[in-house]
Amino acid sequence: MDKEVMTISQVAEYLQMNEMTVYKLAQERKLPAFKIGSHWRVKTADLHECIEELKKQ
């Protein structure tokens, strides 16, 4: 994916997960997400970094 910032829907598609699960992970701070108004966003670079950290565990 070549976008710098993704929506929760895009993250869910990328990770092949349910959208509600991604919302829950974002709210629990288990994904590197941030809110703009009432909309969640995820920086692609932060998501990739998070994935790499999870792979090390």
- pLDDT attached to residue 1: 58
CA–CA distances in Å: residue 5 to residues 20, 21, 32: 19, 19, 11
Q: Which two tokens stand for residue 32?
A: 């590197």
Cα 30 from Cα 45, distance rounded (Å): 15
Domains and CATH numbers, the chain: 5-56 (1.10.10)
Q: What does the pLDDT look like over 7-38, one tens digit per residue?
A: 999 999 999 999 999 999 999 999 999 999 99
pTM of this structure: 0.90
pLDDT band at 2 (very low <50, low <70, confident <90, very high): confident
